[in-house]
Amino acid sequence: MKSVRTFFAALALCAATSAASQDPVFDVHVHLREGSASVAEYERQIKANGRMITGFAAMWFGGPAQALAGNPDQIRRSNDGIMALAATNRKIIPVATVHPYDGDAAIKEVNRVAARGVKILKLHAHTQKFDVADQRVLTLVKAAGARQMIILMDNASILPGDNEKLFNLAVAAPDTRFVFAHMGAMNFRFWNILALARTADGFAMPNVWFDLSATVLLAADTPIEEEFVWTVRNVGVERVLLGSDYPQMSLDQTLDALEKVDFTPAEKAQIRYGNAAKLFGLDGGQ
């Protein structure tokens, strides 16, 4: 009898996974380090795994030698490259970058790419070697926010004070929308502070979202899964997005991990697509 129950449980899981694989999916965290070749490989993997992708936010940089301060001309050319790729593939939302320490040149580039329709700016304190608490970072994100750009920032807790500095940055730039990638990684528990912060008058912090790239893989089917789900619900499931961090992790791995985590089907649908649709104004977003 036990084997029969196990069989039907496995069957139900397969059915749920199959249905989820056909639901709308938006991947907010894709690195196209090799340009069109990366796009082709990303889409090949998705097809080979029987998945469907509705859209993805794609950036060109991701290595320690890229997008450093003092190279605004190179950054501008690379931003042009990702915009050109997006023009050939309707599923791509291009993600530009600048370096905060490039000052006026960085703000000029923000204005230029925003005028070209770019909605997302990626900043990565670890690989770009800047301090999130530096005043130049605040100046930049405020300028980008004034152009209605969304700031995608690394939040893998690699650098000391990562969570705390990002929290303070979001408070200091309330009119700028942020997506904190990896939701703190193994320090994700910090973000439960939002549940308390929001009890203070005028401290709702409605400008903060997260992506679950990498962290969902660490949490699925582990002793920390329950705390992870609790944290996501405390920050607000409606403020959490799906990200793969391709090519370091695949979309298939990420979707499999999300399916294992004890969210409700409705919560998983929000994370896979619904929340991104609303934030980025995609089809189906309100």
Length of the chain: 286
DSSP string, 255-272: HHHHHHS---HHHHHIII
User: Quick check: helix, strand or coil at residue 244?
Assistant: coil
> Cβ neighbours of residue 60 under 8 Å, at least 6 residues apart?
31, 32, 33, 35, 66, 78, 79, 81, 82, 95, 97
Distance (Å, whole) CA 57 – CA 27: 6
Give the pLDDT score at 5: 45
**Which superfamily does 24-280 belong to?**
Metal-dependent hydrolases (3.20.20.140)
pLDDT of residue 195: 95
Cβ pair 193, 231 in contact under 8 A: no
> Residue 202: its pLDDT value, please?
82
Q: How far apart are CA 51 and CA 74, in angstroms?
A: 35
pLDDT band at 21 (very low <50, low <70, confident <90, very high): low
pLDDT of residue 6: 43
8 Å CB contact between 268 and 25:
no
Of 113, 95, 116, nearest to 105 (Cα)? 113
Once rounded to an integer, what is the mean pLDDT over residues 19-47?
90
| CA 168/CA 161 separation, integer angstroms | 11
Average pLDDT over residues 16-32: 78
Q: Decide if pLDDT at 3 tops 80.
A: no
pLDDT tens digits along 166-220 = 999 999 999 999 999 999 999 999 999 999 999 998 888 999 999 999 999 999 9
Is the confidence at residue 276, as pLDDT, over 80? yes
Higher pLDDT: 159 or 3? It is 159
Domain layout of the chain by residue ranges: 24-280
- Residue 249's identity, in one-letter code, is M
Percentage of the chain surpassing pLDDT 90? 85
pLDDT tens for each residue of 218-264? 999 999 999 999 999 999 999 999 999 999 999 999 999 999 999 99
Mean of the per-residue pLDDT values of the chain: 92
What distance in Å separates the CA atoms of residue 166 and residue 155, rounded to the nearest whole number? 8
Sheet strands (E) in 118-255:
120-123, 150-154, 177-181, 208-211, 240-241
Please name the amino acid found at residue 111. Answer: N
